[in-house]
Amino acid sequence: MPWLRRVRPRTAGEADRLSALPEELIHLILSKLGTRAALSTAVLSRRWARIPRDLPAFDFRVRDILPPEYERTVALRARNLPRDKALARTLDGLVASCERCTMKVFLDGITGFLEADGGHARRRAKTLRLEFFETHDVGVVDRLVAAAVGAWGVEELEVVVRHAASTCPEDAPPAYTLRLKEDGQRSRVRSLTLGNCMVPRPLQRYDALTTLILRDMAASTPVHVYERVFSLCTRLQVLHLTSCGCLEDCLVVDAPRSEIRELVVEACSFLVIELRRLPMLTRLACLTNTVELMFGSVPCLTHTNLTFFVEQDILALPPPHNELKQFLATSPSTMKNLIIRFTGPKSWIRTKDLDKSLFHLKKLLVADLPSNWEGSWLRALLMAAPSLEILHIHVAHMEVEPEAFGGIIWPKRNQEQHPSNLKELVMVGFTQQRHVEFLKYVVSACAALQRLVLLKDGHVRYNGLWDWC
C-alpha cells in the first residue's frame, strides 16, 4: 500500500527526537490523551516516563476496559431477553465472568500505577476520577484515594461505584466509604462527587469542601447523614442531591453558619424539605415531583427551578397535597427568577387568587403547561408579580387532547397589582381559543410590552438550571 512506509529502527548513533521535544509540547500532547494513553507513553523514552507524574487529571474508570459486548448484554438482560432460559443463564455467567476479570485487571493496573517508579511521592494532580464495580477488595482503592488526597494534592475527587449486574442485592458488598489516615489527616479536597457511596466520616476532616455532589445514595440512609452535611461542612457552597434515598420522609435544614449558595435536589425520596435557616442560599432547584417545600429564613434566594406533578385540578387540592399552591403561598419575597415545569397526566389547572404577592419577580418561565390550561391562572400570577418583565410560556403538545373545562372566569382586577411592567411575552404552543383570550388581556393591560413572540411548535431550551433561551 503506497501510504504505508517501513519504519527504519533507530541506531545507537541517532538522536532520540521524541525525547528532544520541548516539555511544553509534550504536556500539550499528553493533555489531549486519556489517562491510559498518557501513561502508556512512558514506553517511548525515559523523559516521557517522567512527564505523566505532572498530569493535571487522572481518570481510572472501569468502563474504559469493559468490552463493548458487556453493555449490550446487560441491556438485553434488563429487558428479560432472551426468553430461552438456558441461553439467559449462559449470558448471565458471561456477564459475571466479565465483571470479575475486568475488576482484577482494573485493580492490578492501579497497583502497578501506585508502585511505578518507587511510589507516588513525586506525583502531582488536581483531579482524580475513579469508577469501579462494587467489590469487597477495596484496599487498593483506599491506597489510591489516600495517595491522591494526601501526597498528590488532589482538589477535585470523583468516586463512583457501579452496581455489578451479576450481583444480587443481598450478596452485594457494603457501600464504599472514603477513608483518610487515622493520624488526624485533613482533606484538601474542594470538590467531591460520590456515586453509590457512603458519606465520609468524620465530615469535619473535609472542611475544605466547597462543592459536594451525592448520587444514588441507598434507601437505608438515615436523614441525619444529609442534615450533617449542611451543618458540618461550613465552607460548602454547592450541594447537589441526585437519586438519593432516605429512611425518613422529611429533611430539615437548620444551618445558620452554612455558606451554601446552590442547592439542587433531583429524583430523591424526600416528601418534605424544610429550609429553616440557610442564610446564603441564592439558587434552589427542586426537580423531584412530590416534594413539599417549606421556607424559613432564606433571605438571599433569588433563582428557583421547580417541577410539579399534575394529575388533577392542582389548585383545588388542599395542603399538603398541593405543592404548587404551598410554594406560591410561602415563597421568599426575594425571588427574581422562577422556572415552573409541570409533569404527569397534565390535567386541569384553574385559577385562584394567590395568598401573597411576588413583588421582586422579574423573569418567569412556565414550561410543559397542560394544553387545556385556563388563562385566568396565569393572569393571577401576573397580577401577583407587579415587577415581572419577562414571561415565557410553553404549552405541552399532547397526542390526545385532555378534556376542556368550562369557560374563562377572570379574577377581579386589582389596580395595585396591575402587571404594567411586562416587557416580553413568548408563548410556544399557541393554538387554542383560550390562548387568544389570555393574549388579548396581556396586550390591553401591559402598556410596557415591547416584544411579543407566538410560536405554534417548539421546545424550551434550558441554559443550565437557572436560565433558558
pLDDT at 193 over 90: yes
Residue 7's pLDDT is: 41
For residues 273 and 230, give the distance between their C-alpha atoms in angstroms, rounded to a whole number.
Answer: 13
For residues 377 and 325, give the distance between their C-alpha atoms in angstroms, rounded to a whole number.
Answer: 12
Evaluate whether residue 248 is within a structural domain: no
Amino acid 170 reads E
For residues 360 and 4, give the distance between their C-alpha atoms in angstroms, rounded to a whole number.
Answer: 69
Evaluate whether residue 164 is within a structural domain: no
Residue 393's pLDDT is: 92
Q: What angle do CA 347, 369, 372 make, to 5 degrees?
A: 50
Residue 184's pLDDT is: 62
Evaluate whether residue 462 is within a structural domain: yes
Residue 363's pLDDT is: 96
Evaluate whether residue 215 is within a structural domain: no
Distances (CA, A) of 293 to 110, 265, 328, 331: 45, 11, 10, 9
Residue 434's pLDDT is: 67
CB 246 within 8 A of CB 270: yes
Q: Is the pTM of the predicted complex or chain greater than 0.75?
A: yes
**Residue 145, class by beta-carbon neighbours within 10 Å (0-12 exposed, 13-18 middle, 19+ buried)?**
buried
User: Per-residue pLDDT averaged across 255-269, rounded?
Assistant: 96
User: Per-residue pLDDT averaged across 35-49, rounded?
Assistant: 65
For residues 321 and 317, give the distance between their C-alpha atoms in angstroms, rounded to a whole number.
Answer: 6
Q: Which residues pair with 425 in a beta bridge?
A: 391, 452
**Residue 2, class by beta-carbon neighbours within 10 Å (0-12 exposed, 13-18 middle, 19+ buried)?**
exposed
Residue 277's pLDDT is: 96
Q: Pick 266 or 431 by higher pLDDT.
A: 266
Residue 407's pLDDT is: 39
> How does residue 443 score in pLDDT terms, banded at 50, 70 and 90?
confident
Q: Pick 312 or 466 by higher pLDDT.
A: 466
Evaluate whether residue 469 is within a structural domain: yes
Instruction: Count how many domains the chain has.
Output: 1
> How does residue 466 score in pLDDT terms, banded at 50, 70 and 90?
very high
Take residue 153 and report the three cell numbers written for it. 494534592
pLDDT at 463 over 50: yes
Evaluate whether residue 65 is within a structural domain: no
Enclosing domain of residue 368:
304-469
Evaluate whether residue 410 is within a structural domain: yes
Take residue 230 and report the three cell numbers written for it. 449542611
Residue 239's pLDDT is: 98
pLDDT at 192 over 90: yes
Taking only the tens place, the pLDDT of each residue in 31-40 is 666 666 766 6
Residue 117's pLDDT is: 53
User: Per-residue pLDDT averaged across 50-71, rounded?
Assistant: 83
For residues 202 and 102, give the distance between their C-alpha atoms in angstroms, rounded to a whole number.
Answer: 32
Residue 123's pLDDT is: 77
Evaluate whether residue 431 is within a structural domain: yes
